[in-house]
Amino acid sequence: MVRGFSPAAAAAVFRRQNFLIRCLGGYRKEKNYSNNFHHHCVIRMHSAMSGGPSLEADAVSILRSITPTLDPTRHKGQAGKVAVVGGCREYTGAPYFSAISALKLGADVSHVFCTKDAATVIKSYSPELIVHPILEESYSIRNEEKGSISAKVIEEVDKWMERFDCLVIGPGLGRDPFLLDCVSNIMKHARESNVPMVIDGDGLFLVANSPDLVRGYPLAVLTPNVNEYKRLVQKILNCEVNDEEGSKQLLALGKGIGGVTILRKGKSDFITDGEKVSAVSIYGSPRRCGGQGDILSGSVAVFLSWARQSANRGELGTNPTILGCIAASAILRKAASLAFDQKKRSTLTSDIIECLGRSLEEICPVIS
């Protein structure tokens, strides 16, 4: 009992304190995953990695600065038009997770360019997505058809390219050689059109083998997990990952690929454009179900688009690609935290997606 209070009054005090803690940053009942404890430990890790002060970004302020207001005078498309390039026979969930996450956060339109075998399945997941069954895998075509089919793929994508604010390359793409060749050509056309690209999953496998696809392109974002990051370091820097010099190595990798933005996923997310490193460690969840990277890729596409809109209005003084990555990382981590509070070990990617809207609303309320 709190000294000087009756049991009922003490309980009321504790309830009020817990409510305030939740409002201020994701209170967690599990003592091993207390947000404040986790945040303190990660800040110390950041200092050790950098040899200086914390790298932690002010993610909440960034979210508030780039998230647009809901204005009744705006028309469809102004809040973002995103396209996901991915999805094959084996992998239909990943492109869906990426595309639907973009819509759940507030993008107006979300497309998926996938193989014919994947299209019907992805369409069945949601009528909200615009699905283009234009990609082909090697098993379904003859060698003499490859040239004409590749040209048709590019022709179809080019019809839409100028409408998109951002492409997401790689979720559920697979590693079929002909499919990867077609996607390489799509990336080249996107670059010629100055369309931003978020590259994840098997798109990163493609980049690791053909880094010139993104080298020197400041509108490209790479979102590697631990194994994908290892491949990039080996390919670009010709060495192994060295976490004791984590920030320096991440900077070197960003410079080595020519100033693209890299969002290195992990217990904390580290982000660089080759000039500086920022970190996001707030919120988070101990549950590591597959598909969270797909949510992140769609989220980066949306926030990158919003940050570029703010930059075009002269409202930002920082690289909008970096700001978009920080915002997306923070909102996914918050959504994962909320989902874990509800579902614990049974948390799935779909549970996290359902928490995206609430997570953004708690930080950037529609009516403040």
Report the binding-site residues for ATP. Answer: 265-269, 284-293
Q: From CA 112, how far away is CA 205, in angstroms rounded?
A: 20
In one-letter notation, the amino acid at residue 272 is T
Q: Is 134 helix (H, G, I), strand (E, B) or coil?
A: strand
CB proximity list for 174: less than 8 A, separation 6 or greater: 88, 89, 90, 91, 137, 202
The Cα–Cα gap between 259 and 221 comes to: 10
Contact yes or no for 113/130 (Cβ under 8 A) = no
**Within a 13 Å sphere around the CA of 162, how many CA atoms are in the beta-carbon half?**
2
Contact in structure between 339 and 347 (CB atoms under 8 Å) = yes
Known binding residues for (6S)-NADPHX? 172, 225-231, 294
Which CB contacts under 8 angstroms, 24+ apart, belong to 107-110?
A: 107/79, 107/80, 107/81, 107/82, 107/301, 107/302, 107/305, 108/76, 108/77, 108/78, 108/79, 108/80, 108/81, 109/76, 109/77, 109/80, 109/81, 109/82, 110/81, 110/82, 110/83, 110/84, 110/298
Residues making up the binding site: 172, 225-231, 265-269, 284-294
Rg of the chain (C-alpha set): 21
